[in-house]
C-alpha cells in the first residue's frame, strides 16, 4: 500500500521541476484595424534549459477590446479561425516552420517571398534561450514582431503593415497595399 502512495507523490514532486523549465513565448502578433485591441499571439512552447521547441505553433487571442482575457483561436468562428490557423513543421529541436492560409495570400500578393515563417531557438553567451523568427521580404530577411492590417467588414485586406527588425538590427515598419 505504501508503494502505491509513494509513486504519485514522487511524480507530483517532480512536476514543479519540469513545469519550471517549460516556457511559452509569443513569436508573432497579428492585429487588424477592426477591433484593433484584440491581438492574435502565435506562440510556441520551449524547454528553457535545453532551448528546444516542444510541440507545434498555436495561437491565442488577447481580447483587450473586451475584458482582457485570453481566448484560443480554435474558439473563433470558422471564417476567422481557418485563414489564421497555424500549421507547423518541426525541422529540428531548435527550428520549426509555420504557415497559415493568410500567409499564402501575402505571398501571392508578393508582400512576402515565401508563405512561411522560420522559428529558431538559440542559447546566448549567458545560457539564456532566445527565440526569433525569420521571414523573407523582397529578398531580405527580417525578424517580424507584428503584422497589422486594414481589413474591410467583408474580410478583404486593403493593406498590411509589417513591424520588426532587419538583418542589421534596425527597427523597420513597412506598409504594403
In angstroms, the CA 96 to CA 120 distance is 7
In angstroms, the CA 12 to CA 3 distance is 14
In angstroms, the CA 103 to CA 25 distance is 20
With a cut of 50, say whether residue 7 has pLDDT above it. Answer: no
Q: Mean per-residue pLDDT for 77-82?
A: 89
Picking from 79, 73, 72, 86, the residue whose alpha carbon sits closest to that of residue 115 is 86
With a cut of 50, say whether residue 3 has pLDDT above it. Answer: no
pLDDT tier for residue 156 given thresholds of 50, 70 and 90: confident
With a cut of 70, say whether residue 18 has pLDDT above it. Answer: no
8-state DSSP, 126: T
Higher pLDDT, 21 or 1: 21
Q: Mean per-residue pLDDT for 152-163?
A: 82
pLDDT, tens digit (0-9, with 9 covering 90-100), for 19-36: 456 899 999 999 988 888
Higher pLDDT, 170 or 155: 170
**Mean pLDDT of all residues belonging to the chain:** 86
What's the pLDDT at 21? 65
Picking from 61, 49, 46, the residue whose alpha carbon sits closest to that of residue 132 is 46
What's the pLDDT at 155? 66
Q: Mean per-residue pLDDT for 72-97?
A: 93
Higher pLDDT, 9 or 146: 146
Q: Mean per-residue pLDDT for 121-138?
A: 94
Q: Mean per-residue pLDDT for 37-54?
A: 94
With a cut of 90, say whether residue 152 has pLDDT above it. Answer: no
With a cut of 60, say whether residue 10 has pLDDT above it. Answer: no
Amino acid at each position: 500500500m505504501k508503494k502505491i502512495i509513494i509513486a504519485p507523490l514522487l511524480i507530483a514532486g517532480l512536476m514543479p521541476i519540469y513545469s519550471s523549465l517549460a516556457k511559452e513565448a509569443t513569436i508573432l502578433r497579428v492585429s487588424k484595424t477592426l477591433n484593433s485591441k484584440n491581438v492574435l499571439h502565435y506562440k510556441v512552447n520551449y524547454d528553457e534549459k535545453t532551448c528546444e521547441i516542444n510541440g507545434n505553433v498555436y495561437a491565442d487571442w488577447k481580447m483587450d477590446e473586451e475584458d482582457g482575457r485570453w481566448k484560443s483561436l480554435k474558439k473563433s468562428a470558422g471564417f476567422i479561425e481557418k485563414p489564421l490557423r497555424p500549421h507547423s513543421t518541426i525541422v529540428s529541436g531548435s527550428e520549426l516552420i509555420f504557415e497559415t492560409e493568410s500567409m499564402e495570400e501575402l505571398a501571392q500578393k508578393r508582400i512576402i517571398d515565401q508563405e512561411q515563417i522560420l522559428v529558431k531557438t538559440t542559447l546566448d553567451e549567458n545560457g539564456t534561450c532566445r527565440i526569433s523568427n525569420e521571414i523573407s521580404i523582397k529578398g531580405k530577411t527580417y525578424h517580424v514582431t507584428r503584422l497589422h492590417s486594414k481589413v474591410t467588414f467583408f474580410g478583404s485586406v486593403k493593406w498590411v503593415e509589417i513591424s520588426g527588425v532587419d538583418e542589421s538590427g534596425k527597427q523597420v515598419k513597412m506598409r504594403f497595399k
